């Protein structure tokens, strides 16, 4: 007979193509954090179903990026998708974001003017963007499905994400969240992250009604089961 604890223990696996819808929702939830809207809401300026459809295209695009299913770890509880996060080398994230968005926009039938408008509307976040160093292992887009919050899925994913970075030969990991996302901050601190830095910007605050990004927690190195954390906090 299976015990209650065994049923509730999250199982961690790599993302698959059939996770695209779940990954799209995860990205949207992670970007919004404690706010009603996130970067893709502002940049695309479309309805939530349209934003999610765009994110699904990114999740299975030919151009891999930190939006792609292959870069995600997925936690399942009792056979259901519960949470996910992205793990990858930081330098790779910087190089692939724009090509991936360009591909998804063109596949969605957007014009060059539409594509340019995405970057114009999304530029509000640039002054407070923090991603960590090129030599870091990046952990991003961390979110749990509402029905599975508080059930250990995120902590299990963070352990798995840090282990993946260590196995890939990285010495430090980085993560970000918006100022005001206190639950995320407590969760990351529990996983061994510590504050590194923060960024704030008046335009960001005026648009989102919050303060800007906080990069922050820095636990030592992955070889010692610790990690570096940049946090984007708003609030």
Q: How far is residue 125 CA from its own chain's centroid?
A: 15
CATH code, 65:
3.40.630.30
Q: How many domains does the chain have?
A: 1
Stretch among 88-92, 161-165, 190-194 having the lowest mean pLDDT: 190-194
Helices (H), the chain: 4-8, 20-32, 39-44, 48-59, 90-107, 112-122, 153-167, 182-190, 202-208
Per residue in 124-152, pLDDT (tens digit) is: 888 777 666 778 899 999 999 999 998 99
For the chain, the 3-state helix, strand and coil shares in percent, each to the nearest 5, are 50, 15, 35
The pair of structure tokens assigned to 11 is 């199982």
In a domain, 109, yes or no: yes
In a domain, 26, yes or no: yes
Residues 6 or more apart whose CB falls under 8 angstroms from that of 196 comprise 174, 215, 216, 217, 218, 228, 229, 230, 231
In a domain, 234, yes or no: no
Residues 6 or more apart whose CB falls under 8 angstroms from that of 110 comprise 118
What pLDDT, on a 0 to 100 scale, did the predictor assign at position 51?
A: 98
Determine what percent of the chain is predicted with pLDDT higher than 90: 54
In a domain, 231, yes or no: no
pTM: 0.85
Its domain, for residue 185, covers 4-224
pLDDT band at 227 (very low <50, low <70, confident <90, very high): very low
Stretch among 3-7, 23-27, 72-76, 166-170 having the lowest mean pLDDT: 3-7
In a domain, 232, yes or no: no
């Amino acid at each position: 007979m299976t015990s209650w604890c065994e049923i509730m223990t999250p199982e961690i696996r790599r993302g698959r193509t059939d996770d695209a819808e779940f990954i799209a929702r995860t990205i949207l939830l992670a970007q919004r954090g404690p706010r009603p809207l996130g970067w893709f809401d502002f940049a695309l300026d479309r309805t939530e179903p349209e934003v999610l459809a765009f994110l699904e295209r990114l999740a299975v695009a030919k151009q891999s990026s930190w939006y792609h299913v292959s870069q995600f770890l997925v936690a399942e509880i009792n056979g259901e998708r519960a949470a996910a996060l992205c793990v990858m080398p930081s330098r790779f994230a910087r190089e692939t974001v724009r090509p991936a968005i360009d591909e998804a926009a063109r596949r969605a039938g957007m014009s060059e003017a539409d594509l340019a408008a995405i970057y114009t509307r999304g530029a509000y976040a640039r002054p407070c963007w923090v991603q960590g160093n090129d030599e870091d292992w990046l952990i991003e887009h961390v979110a749990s499905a509402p029905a599975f919050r508080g059930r250990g899925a995120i902590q299990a994913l963070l352990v798995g994400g840090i282990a993946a970075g260590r196995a890939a030969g990285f010495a430090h990991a980085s993560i970000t969240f918006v100022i005001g996302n206190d639950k995320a901050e407590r969760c990351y601190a529990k996983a061994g992250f510590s504050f590194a830095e923060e960024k704030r910007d008046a335009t960001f605050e005026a648009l989102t009604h919050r303060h800007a990004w906080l990069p922050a927690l820095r636990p030592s190195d992955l070889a010692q089961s610790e990690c570096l954390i940049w946090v984007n906090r708003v609030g």
